[in-house]
Amino acid sequence: MNSETKQLIATGKMLPLMEEFYTIQGEGSHTGTAAYFIRIGGCDVGCHWCDVKESWDSKLHPPTKTDLIVSNAKKYANTVVITGGEPLMWSLDYITKQLKNNGLKTHIETSGAYKLSGVWDWICLSPKKNKLPLDEVNNVANELKVIIFNKDDFKFAEKQAALVNSNCQLFLQPEWSNREKMTPLIVDYVMQNPKWKISLQTHKYLNIP
């Protein structure tokens, strides 16, 4: 990689794009909303149940001009979701500025483990035990989505809920491979603790990306 490309990446004018696609948001507060997803490569959080492990190595995903990504996005929905990988490993100030200049709503899905950059209409925080969120992300998150793989994850969820701001919506989501076992437990837990809501990966049930 030449020095010019490195500089463009450092300023967010190029990003290691893994994929981009128009679909229906399948999880959390905006379930059912049409959205354009931008998946950026690179992640060192290392969740064992991650369903996009191919996103982890940013070197596998070619640096792409951010202006081109924005140009593609504005052809579709008025909501753009930036996800990963862990998108906050990169500077997102430039891309969100350009998206906002084009009248698009900006959403992010992040573990919160890196310094917050970008201007956001919605921040979905999905914390991971391997690398916990920074206070600055907890303080502004609109949505806390905790993945439930086993019973111990309920304790982790409560610890994380105590750290986010009072306006943050709280969701528990069964990990897909363990959903048949954990979903009934989540239903019971939410009925006993109604500050929480249930999130399901509805896009997988609908067989869409």
- Provide, rounded to the nearest whole percent, the portion of the chain with pLDDT above 70: 100
* pLDDT at residue 15 tops 90: yes
pLDDT given at position 77: 85
- Provide, rounded to the nearest whole percent, the portion of the chain with pLDDT above 90: 84
Give per-residue pLDDT as tens, 63-84: 999 999 999 999 998 999 999 9
pLDDT, averaged across the chain: 94
Give per-residue pLDDT as tens, 143-159: 999 999 999 999 999 99
Tell how strand 34-40 and strand 14-24 pair up. Answer: antiparallel
The domain of 199 spans 3-205
* pLDDT at residue 139 tops 80: yes
Q: How many domains does the chain have?
A: 1
> Which CATH number does the domain housing residue 74 bear?
3.20.20.70
* pLDDT at residue 204 tops 90: no
Burial of 194 (0-12, 13-18, 19+ CB in 10 A): exposed
pLDDT given at position 52: 81
Averaged pLDDT, 103-128: 97
CA angle in degrees (0–180, nearest 5) for 23-200-115: 75
pLDDT given at position 1: 77
